[in-house]
Amino acid sequence: MNGMAPERRLMGLIFLCVFLMSHSGTPAEAAERSVLIRLRELPGSLAKTAAQDHPSFGIPSLDAVARRYPPVRIVPVAPVTNDTNRLQKALLTNSAFRWVKWVAPDSVEPERLLDELLRLDEVEAAELNRAFRLHHLPDDPLIGSQWALSRIRAFDAWEVERGKAEVLIAVIDSGIDYTHPDLAGNLYVHPGEDVNGNGVVDAADFNGVDDDHNGFIDDVRGWDFTDAPNYPSGGDYLERDNDPMDEMGHGTAVAGLIAAVADNRIGIAGLAPGCRILNLRAMNAGGYGEEDDVASAILYAVSMKAGVINMSWGDTFVTRLLDDVVRYAASQNVVLVASAGNASSDMIHYPSGFEPVISVGATTAEDYYAASFTNYGPTIDL
Ligand SMILES: [Ca+2]
Ligand SMILES: [Ca+2]
Ligand SMILES: [Ca+2]
Ligand SMILES: [Ca+2]
C-alpha cells in the first residue's frame, strides 16, 4: 500500500468491495483456435481486409505463412473506427493498436502456427488466444457494503477530489441485466447512439446505423464483445453484438455493488449524478472471457472516455496483448482495478499483476490483514 498515489489508492478502496474470492486459478489453455500477433507495422489496408474476411496481410512473409496455414479470418483486436485520422494516429503511436487475431481452421495446430509466426521479423510478439475466468463474488453480499461503510472517509475524499464524481465506470464482466429496476438508472446511455436524444434506451435508438461512426452499430447501452467458439455456454457466445445482457449474474452483481456502495454515501438514487456504469460484456455464461475479447473491451472503454475500468477476473498466464492494452489505457488516465484472484499462491495474477493496475485482494474488515484465501505476493496493492 505504501507508495501508491493517493488517488489510485482511493479508487482502489472504493472498489475493493467489488472483488474478492475466486476458488481456483484456471490452467491456461488455448481457447479459440487462434493466435494473437503484434505486427511491427500494421498495413494500411488491414482494417478493410479484415472486415471483408480476406485472409491476406499484404506483407510477403506473413502471406507466405498464410498460404501454408490459411487463416479463416484475420481480425484487428482494436475496435475499428471509421474515423481514419483517429485510427492512423493511434496505430502510429501505440503498440496496443497493432495486434491482430489470426483464426486458424481446425486442421491447424495453433502452437505450430505460433512457432512459424514468431520467426518473422514483422511479428513483434505472438501468443495463443487464451481465456480468463471470472472471480467469484462473496457469498455474503453484506461483506462488500459493510467494508465500504467502514471506509466512509474514502468516499468523502473521493467527493473532494472528484468534484461531482462524473465518472464513467466501465464494468468488463458477464454483462449487466439492464432491465433490473435498481440498476437501469445507473447504466450509461451513449449519447452518440441515443437517436431520439431522450437519455433512455428505447426501440427508436436501434436504427441499424452506426450513428457516431465509432465502428459499433447501435452501441447505445454498451457492447457484447464475446466471441469464444471454444467456450460453448449454451447462450450468446459466438458473435459480438449490441446486446450485453448478463447470462450468469456476475456482472449484474458487480454493478449492483458499485451502485449500492455509492448509494450508501454519495448517491441520489444510485450513483452520483453524472456517474454511470458502462456495460461491456466479455465473459460468457460459463464465466470465461477470451483475451481478444477483454482487450477489445478495454480499448472500447478508453475510446468512450471511461474514468475507471473494473475487471473482476484474471488468470496466472502472462499476456503481452493485455499488457499493451492496459498500458495504453493507463496512458489515457484511466484508473484500472482488477481482482487479485485467490489461488492461495504467490503466482502473479493478471491483469491485476500489471504495474498500472490497482490489484485488489479479498479483505476482512481488518484491512491490514489479507484474508487467508487471497493470493499473496508482491503485486497486491490493497
Ligand atoms: Ca433513446
Ligand atoms: Ca456506434
Ligand atoms: Ca444507431
Ligand atoms: Ca474472442
Measured in angstroms, how far is the CA atom of residue 182 from the centroid of ligand 2? 26
Measured in angstroms, how far is the CA atom of residue 173 from the centroid of ligand 4? 14
Q: How many CB atoms lie within 10 A of CB 138?
A: 18
Measured in angstroms, how far is the CA atom of residue 381 from the centroid of ligand 2? 36
Measured in angstroms, how far is the CA atom of residue 350 from the centroid of ligand 4? 18
Judge whether 326 and 305 are in contact, CB under 8 Å: no
Contacts of 140 by beta carbon, 8 Å cutoff, 6+ apart: none
Contacts of 40 by beta carbon, 8 Å cutoff, 6+ apart: 98, 121, 122, 123, 124
Q: List the chain pLDDT tens, one digit each, 382 residues.
A: 344 455 554 454 444 333 333 323 333 344 458 999 999 987 765 544 444 445 678 889 999 999 888 888 888 898 765 555 665 666 667 899 999 999 988 888 999 999 999 999 999 999 999 999 998 765 444 444 443 333 333 334 444 444 444 678 899 999 999 999 888 888 999 999 999 999 999 999 999 999 999 999 999 999 999 998 888 888 889 999 999 999 999 999 888 877 765 554 443 344 555 578 999 999 999 999 999 999 999 999 999 999 888 888 999 888 999 999 999 999 988 888 888 776 556 778 899 899 988 877 654 333 333 333 344 444 544 4
What are the strands, taking DSSP E only, across the chain? 30-39, 73-76, 99-103, 123-134, 168-173, 223-224, 276-281, 288-290, 308-311, 313-314, 335-339, 357-360
Environment class of 269 (CB within 10 Å of its CB; exposed 0-12, middle 13-18, buried 19+) = exposed
Measured in angstroms, how far is the CA atom of residue 305 from the centroid of ligand 3? 19
Question: Which helix (H) or strand (E) covers residue 115, if one does?
Answer: helix 110-118
Contacts of 382 by beta carbon, 8 Å cutoff, 6+ apart: 1, 9, 12, 13, 16, 358, 359, 360, 361, 363, 367
d(CA 251, CA 242): 16
Amino acid at 302: V
Nearest to 66 by CA among 11, 25, 2, 123: 123
Measured in angstroms, how far is the CA atom of residue 244 from the centroid of ligand 2? 14
d(CA 349, CA 343): 9
d(CA 266, CA 115): 53
155: left (phi over 0), alpha (psi -120 to 50) or beta: alpha
Measured in angstroms, how far is the CA atom of residue 192 from the centroid of ligand 3? 8
- Which residues, by Cβ under 5 Å, contact ligand 2, an ion? 210, 212, 214, 216, 219
Measured in angstroms, how far is the CA atom of residue 346 from the centroid of ligand 2? 42
Q: What is the largest CA-CA distance in the chain?
A: 61
Measured in angstroms, how far is the CA atom of residue 220 from the centroid of ligand 1? 8
Beta bridge partners of 123: 39
Residue 133 C-beta-side C-alpha neighbours within 13 Å: 21
SS3 at position 50: helix
Measured in angstroms, how far is the CA atom of residue 194 from the centroid of ligand 1? 4
Measured in angstroms, how far is the CA atom of residue 290 from the centroid of ligand 4? 5
End-to-end Cα distance, the chain: 6
Give the domain ranges of the chain.
6-27+134-360, 30-129
Measured in angstroms, how far is the CA atom of residue 181 from the centroid of ligand 2? 25
Nearest to 359 by CA among 5, 4, 7, 12: 12
Closest ligand by atom to 215 CA: 2
CATH number corresponding to 30-129: 3.30.70
Measured in angstroms, how far is the CA atom of residue 286 from the centroid of ligand 4? 14
Measured in angstroms, how far is the CA atom of residue 219 from the centroid of ligand 1? 12
SS3 at position 47: helix
SS3 at position 187: strand
CA angle 90/208/193 to nearest 5° reads 60
Closest ligand by atom to 32 CA: 4
The domain 6-27+134-360 having CATH identifier 2.160.10.10: the answer here is no
Measured in angstroms, how far is the CA atom of residue 93 from the centroid of ligand 4? 25
Measured in angstroms, how far is the CA atom of residue 216 from the centroid of ligand 3? 9
